[in-house]
Amino acid sequence: MQGDMLKYYSRNQFFLSQLGIWPYQPRVIKILLPYFLVAAEMSVLATQVLLLLNNWGDLSMTIDGIVTSILLVGASIKLLNIVINNKKLQYLLQLMDEHWRLFHSECELHILRHYANIGEKVTKYYAVYINVFVVMFMSIPVIPKILDIIIPLNESRPTIHVLEGEWGVDKEKYYLPILLHCYLAAIISTRCMVNVDTMYIVCVLHGCSLFNAVSIRVENIFDTTKLAEGEKIMSKEHVVIKKHDSEDYREMIACLKKHQLAIKYTHVLDSTFKSAMFLILSLNVMILSLIGLQLINKIGQTQEVIRFGCVAIGSVTHLLSICLPGQLLLDRSIQVFDKAYSARWYMFSLKTTKLLSILLHRSLVPCTLSAANMFIMSMTLFSSVMQTAMSYFTTFLSVS
């Protein structure tokens, strides 16, 4: 990959390498590291299954086990999706590298750099934002131990587990190993979500930059051309008739070719993530519905409210992080049609006008990202998911 591209995506390369899913890592690492991470996730998931079997009917424990299971399954789905579609991710990176060479004008490079810079900042701040809540989540069991040292009581404060579960051993006796096991699962789950989500976001932003570059080029197509010799200007109607192929014809051909590259890139991006997106959306509806119920049940228990509040905020943020990029891509692809529609076609040659009609036809239907070809990733979907989750929450609340 080009150095200019690597400068912006080096953090994403590092993040994916942590999970063994960077396409250019050695094959052994790409097999063993994801296997270890998924196995660690499944080992904690087994404790949640046992918790559900042993405490079915206890509303609080049941919801706790289901919520934790959803988080573990969701993180594993994200990781396994990239493992399965690793070749597609590699192809996406190759296309991005090719785009950095083909979109070589100063204006186009400025747009690519602008969106790549946004992706770099999103990657950094999103990771920090989520990690803050994870640290808060993980620090809850440690607080009583610290208070026992700073402000001791006549008796030790009750121990708090970061995750409820059934390990088949005495939880008090093996508190530290169980705590470390839960910490490992929390860290792996967070890294899977953050690392994959940020890569998804930067890939979508790159697609936005392609459509934006094409729309800007279409908008300025006449400003970058000169009237050819032999033009006849009708002074009253200000209509330009061109006798020879001019620069605007070659510019329009370039716009069509680059628009086709953007469409192709979007299709590959959609096929890489669409199946996982459908499963993740379904899990988001479930977890948001149950978290609200659990927060109500835990009112008065400050530490538990903080714990589940962190999960709730993280879930909403995660849902926003997969819907908002889809909306941006949708808007940028529509922008191509708007710019082509408002172009000064009456000043183009006849051949250029015919090419403009082709561009209008291709950009009439916007490019979108989907969830299993059933839902379009957008802010409308974000609103629908939140409304559905709230509907399930009120239903659960009425029957609990």
Tokens of 317: 């943020």
Tokens (6 digits) for 60: 């609080």
3-state DSSP call for residue 232?
strand
pLDDT in tens, the chain (400 residues): 556 677 889 899 999 999 999 999 999 999 999 999 999 999 999 999 988 888 887 777 888 888 889 989 999 999 999 999 999 999 999 999 999 998 888 888 999 999 999 999 999 999 898 888 888 878 877 777 777 778 777 776 677 777 788 888 888 888 888 888 888 988 999 999 999 999 999 999 999 999 999 999 888 876 554 433 334 343 334 444 444 456 778 888 888 999 999 999 999 999 999 999 999 999 998 898 888 888 887 777 777 787 788 888 888 988 999 999 999 999 999 999 988 888 777 777 788 888 888 888 888 889 999 998 899 999 999 999 999 888 888 887 777 6
Tokens of 65: 């086990």
Are the C-beta atoms of residues 291 and 318 closer than 8 Å to each other? no
Q: Please tell me the distance from the alpha carbon of residue 232 to that of residue 227, in angstroms, as a whole number.
A: 10
What phi and psi, each to the nearest 5 degrees, are found at residue 239? Answer: -95, 135
Whether 333 and 208 have beta carbons less than 8 Å apart is answered as no
Place of tokens 């097999």: 31
SS3 content of the chain, % helix, strand, coil (to 5): 75, 0, 20
**What pLDDT is attached to residue 223?**
57
Would you kindly state where each structural domain of the chain is located, as residue ranges?
A: 3-399
Tell me, what's the pLDDT at 292? 81
* C-beta separation of 288 from 386 below 8 A: yes
Q: Which residues is 249 bridged to in the sheet?
A: none
At a CB cut-off of 8 Å and minimum separation 6, what does 256 contact? Answer: 355, 358, 359, 362
Calculate helix-pair angle for 59-84, 247-297, nearest 10 degrees: 160
pLDDT at position 300? 72
CA–CA distance, 371 with 8 (Å, rounded to integer) = 28
